[in-house]
Every structure is written in C-alpha cells, then in structure tokens.
Structure 1
Amino acid sequence: MVSYVSVLLYGVGGLVFVGMSLLVAFQEKLVYVPVVPGFTKSYPITPARFRLTYEDVWLRSSDGVRLHSWFIKLIPECRGPTILFFQENAGNIAHRLEMVRILLQKLQCNIFMLSYRGFGASDGYPSQHGITRDAQAALDHLIQRTDIDTSRIVVFGRSLGGAVGAVLTKNNPDKVAALILENTFTSILDMAGVILPFLKWFIGGSGSKGPRVLNRLVRSPWSTIDIIGQIKQPILFVSGLRDEMVPPPHMQRLYVKAATGNRRCTFVDFPTGMHMDTWLADGDRYWRTIQLFLEQNVPENKDDENSHRGNDFEAR
C-alpha cells in the first residue's frame, strides 16, 4: 500500500512538473496565436471589401520592429473620437473588420487597427515587452496626426487587447481620453489556472491562494489586475456573461479593483454575450452602451460641463 501511494504521488508530481515545464517553455505559443488553424498569416480581406476609406500605415516600434496598421475613417472629414483598437490573441486585424464596419457607423468615429509584432503583415515575434512598445508606437503616431481630434483618443481592447490597452492607458494619462475593456482576463497566470486547474496551487495568481511559483518564469504575465487600479481615465467594462474562454468573474474583479480609486468606472454585462460575439448580443444595447460612455466621457467640447459625468449613467 505504501509503495502504491508513493508511486501515485510521484506520478502526480511528475505530471505537474511536466505541465509546468511545458507552460514555461511554450508560453508564447499559448498566449499569442497569430495564425488561426486553417488560415494563413496574411490578411484574407482588407477594409476595401467593405468599401471603407482607409490607409495602410507603417510604423517603427522603439526597438526598430516594422509594424503594419490600418487607419479607417467613416468619412474623410470625420472629427469624431478616434478609437485605438487592440484585438484578441487569435488571427489578425482583418478578422475584426465586420465588427469595425458596424462600429464606425454606430459611433461615428475613426478607428486605428494595429497589427502586433508577429501578427498580420508586421515583422518580429510577439512578447509582452514588444507589444507594449508596439502599442506606444501606434498612440504616438495618432498624437502626431493633424486630421483627427487628438484629445479624443479612446483605447478599446478585447481579451488580450484589453491587457495591452490597460498598460498603454496607464502609461499615457495625458494622451488617452478613456479606456474600454471587453472580456479581459485578470492575468495570464489566472488564465493558466482556468485552462489547467490542477496547476492553480503552483502557479498562483490573483484568484489563487497558492504560492506563485512561476511568477518569475512567466515572460508575458499581462497582469491587468495589478495595474487597473492605477488608471485614472474613465473606464467602461463590457462583460459577456456566457464568455466560454475568460470566466466573467475576471471582469468583475477588474472593475472592483479599478472602481476603488476611480469614480469614472462603468460596468455593463450582456447575459447572452460570448467571448468573441458580445458585440452581437442583446440587439443594439451594446452599441448604445459604448455611445453613451463616449458622449459622457469623451465629448466633442473638452470644456463641456458634462465631460466628467462619470459612471452615473445606466445603460438602457
């Protein structure tokens, strides 16, 4: 019996060790998915397919990596808000164009879509340090443009893009007017615990009581929970309650942490929203929610008395 128990314990320990080793060794492969299985890395379509006015924008990140982006306008003279959009981890910006087409029409805005390094037509290989530089290069480009209202730049991040957007917003309190987070996780460590529950006691994270053994080994921690409370700009949290990838409590914890020191936070959930299609859920309520948030927090006139009305609106 003792021998059997010993073998069992050694076996479980071996499985945990192998799991942790694979997690550390292949973490970038798990976090970043530039190519969706069955597709190629290149763009399947461009904004021209939807008859959108756009330009190809090529940037250089601060470490010299060449990046590709699309800057799309509803109409050439549009002076509405400019949304800097950061996508989910799978595929490239072309896979988001159907949503972007509707976003432009509903919100009467411009949109800048960045291809992270290693994604789409951008060079390099993805990493947290590198993508943080890429996001900054995109914002710096927008700030220098003369055909937009640079006081109305709004960062919009979905899933991984929310983690990217949160870092950028925190680092640029005078350049980013507001932040929208949709179905974003608290941290990569917490997500590892969701995907591999038996590792929770070894990887730790904001949702675990166990020791954070792997903290120093994770190269892309994307710990949004640790920085969200430092953001002072208005934040809209959009949560799909049927999210099959990121458990909805992640968004709730982010909101609670942010709202502790930021009164301009708003949380809105969508009962039928899943990870990738919350924008299709609940009819037009999704778009009205974002529109109201922008009207109240990113008004056309920065001196308008209603510009800091904050989180007292109720999405209808």
Structure 2
Amino acid sequence: MHTLLTLLQWLLGVGAALWLLVVAGMALFQSRLVYHPSATVTATPSDIGLAYEPLWIDSAHQETTQRIRAWFVPASGPGTSASPMPAPEGNLARGTVLFCHGNAGNLGHRLETIQILHRLGLNVLAFDYQGYGESSGHPGEEQTRTDALACWDWLVTERGISPKRIILMGRSLGGGVAARLAADLAAQGRQPAALVLESTFTSLPDVGARLYPWLPVRLLARHTYGTLELLPSLARVGLPLLVIHSPEDELVPFDLGQSLYATYQGPKDFLTIQGSHNQGYLLTGPAYDQGLDAFVSRTLTSERNDS
C-alpha cells in the first residue's frame, strides 16, 4: 500500500512538472503559437492573370518604421502589368476591399480570395503583416494594428479613395485586425463603408480556452484581439457588419461567430458557409460569392445614396 501511494505521488509530481513545463513554454513562445508566417512568396496575381501593383508601405510602430509588402489589384480587368495603375475609382470599380489575412502563410496564399473579390468588381489592397513574406520586422498585436492603419492611409491619401467606398475585410486572425482598424477609424470620425468578419473569433483567449481547456490560457494571453469588445463602438456609428462562418470550422467554433452577430446592435448580416476553417470560402462555391455580392451591393448603394 505504501509503495502504491509513493508511486501515485511520484506520478502526480511528474504530471504537475510536465504541466508547468507546458505552461512555461506557452508563456515564453506564445508569439510562435499565434503567428505562423512564411517568408517565401511563391505566387503573385499575375500568375492568375490579374494586373497588380506591388507596393512598399511604411508602417510606424513606436520608434521604428518597417516596410510592409502590399498588392493593389484594380478592378480594371485582366493583365500582368506591375506598373503603377491609374486612379482606381472609375466606372469598373464598385468599391475597394482592404483585406487582412489570417495568421499563417503570406500574400501568395491569398490569390483565391483576391480572384473572388476581383470577380465581384472590387479593387483589392492585400498586405503582409510585419514578419510575413517580404515584409520586414516581427509580428505582434500592435504591429498588425499599425500595418492595417498604414494600408488604410495609403488608400485614402495616396490613392485618393473615399472612406465611404472602402470595405474592411478580415479572415480568422485578420478579422481581429480589421475590427481593430474599424474601431480606430470610427473613433477618429473616418469610418469605412462596412466591415466583413470571416471565420473570426470573439477574442483569441476565447479560442485558446476552447482548444486547451486544461491550460490557464486567459491568464497567460498576451495577444488578445478582443473583437467582441469593439462591437459597441462600431454599432454606435452604424457600421454595416457581415459575419461569415462555417458550422464545420474546426479551429474557431461556429458559436463564436454567432456571438459576434448576436452581440452587434448595428446593421448586420450573417452568411453561413460550408467546410473547414481554411477552406470554407472555397468549398461553399457560388453561395459565398452571392452572399458577399449582396452585402457589397446593399452597402455601397447605401453609401452612394448618402453621399
């Protein structure tokens, strides 16, 4: 009996030590768990027959300035030119989407999304966060915040596009980035036309607590991306919101997307898609395009009538 008790105590001790080791690892290497950048960009819009302008945009964070890579893909039609484009808000562009991608890969992995948005007659500005692809620096919550703001400023200041013609769109982690940008802009009285949150969480700790219920995720979290807490400020300015989510999402539970929609007290729509976290927008097929197209039409028509 004494031997059994000793063995149990030893096993509990080993288990506790391993648990503490995992907790320490999560605390020390949290950024590596959140961000999964890829340095090599293996494809560009020209590979799918789209004209685009490669850009370097300065993103200032604290006392440093990093150069982030962005692509501007106009709605003017097919081509392979990489030279500067004419002013994009012509007859062929319904509006412009500032797209914030997820936590893995780089711009070269977003071509399907760019193609869908181009097919809907929209200009697209997509960018890589600091530390992703060709962008310098290292990723972080404040860095993604300043990167998105720098891209917004480029659209409005350098390209001369009206904020009322710009839709912010974020997928997964990018939804948290886009929501933060929308809130920052709303606080300054220069809100965009609309916000699209696809496969997005209420907060990063909420997702972590679901994936690792046996770890003190909320206590350890340094990166929060608290999207849910930003919604009241967006509702106050009447920003149209589209939430897109799949019940089959294995990383960000469907009910988190439902919570975003249910909490929001402004004009809103919900688009249910099919498939996994990373494939839903592709596997859903025409219904995805149609749902996004309907929201864009209502939003930009409303903005045009108000202007």
TM-score range for the pair, normalised by the shorter chain length: 0.7 to 0.9
Contact 1:56/1:69, CA 8 A, preserved across alignment: yes
Structure 1, gaps ≥5 residues long: 36-40, 205-212, 308-316
Rounded Cα–Cα distance in structure 2 between residues aligned with 1:4 and 1:230: 56
| Aligned equivalent of 1:254, options 248, 260, 263 | 260
1:297 Cα deviation after fit? 1.8
The one-letter amino acid of 1:56's match is P
For 2:278, which of 266, 276, 279 is the aligned residue?
276
> 2:225 maps to which residue?
222
Give me the whole-angstrom Cα distance separating, in 1, the residues matched to 2:67 and 2:296: 32
Q: Which residue of 2 aligns with 1:117?
A: 130
Whether 1:58 aligns to 2:56 is yes
CA contact (8 A) 1:127 1:219 kept: no
TM-score with structure 2 length normalisation? 0.85
Report the equivalent of 2:197: 181
| Secondary structure of 2:261 counterpart | helix
Deviations 1:208-254, CA, capped at 9 Å, x for gaps: xxxxx32xxx3322122222332231110000111122111111122
Q: Is the 8 A contact 1:67 1:117 kept in 2?
A: yes
Secondary structure of the 1:69 match is strand
Equivalent position of 1:312 in the other structure: none
Equivalent of 1:290 in 275, 289, 292: 292
- Confirm or deny that 1:172 pairs with 2:174: no
- 1:108 corresponds to which residue? 121
Do the aligned partners of 1:143 and 1:175 also contact (CA within 8 Å) in 2? no
* Alpha-carbon distance in 1 for matches of 2:302, 2:161: 12
How far, CA to CA, are the matches of 1:192 and 1:279 in structure 2?
23
The answer to whether the 8 A contact 1:82-1:152 is kept is yes
What's the secondary structure of 1:302's corresponding residue?
Answer: helix
Letter in 1 for 2:123: N
Instruction: Name the residue aligned to 2:95.
Output: 81
- TM-score computed with the length of structure 1 as normaliser: 0.83
Offset of residue 148 of structure 1: 3.8
Q: Percent identity?
A: 32
Distance 1:176 1:52, change over 3 A: same
Query: What is the aligned counterpart of 1:32 among 24, 32, 35?
Result: 35
Q: Identify unmatched segments of 5+ residues in structure 2.
A: 77-87
Q: How does 1:192-231 map to 2 (within 5 A)?
A: 192-199=208-215, 202-204=216-218, 213-214=219-220, 218-231=221-234
2:14 to 11, 15, 19: 11
Q: How many residues align?
A: 282
Instruction: After the TM superposition, list the runs of 4 or more consecutive aligned residues in structure 1 that deviate by more than 6 angstroms.
Output: none
Moved more, 54-63 or 187-196: 187-196
- Match for 1:113: what amino acid? A
Per-residue CA distance 1:3-46 (angstroms, 9 max, x = gap): 455434433332322121111111111111112xxxxx121011
Using the TM superposition, give the Cα deviation of residue 264 of structure 1 relative to its aligned residue in structure 2, in angstroms.
0.5
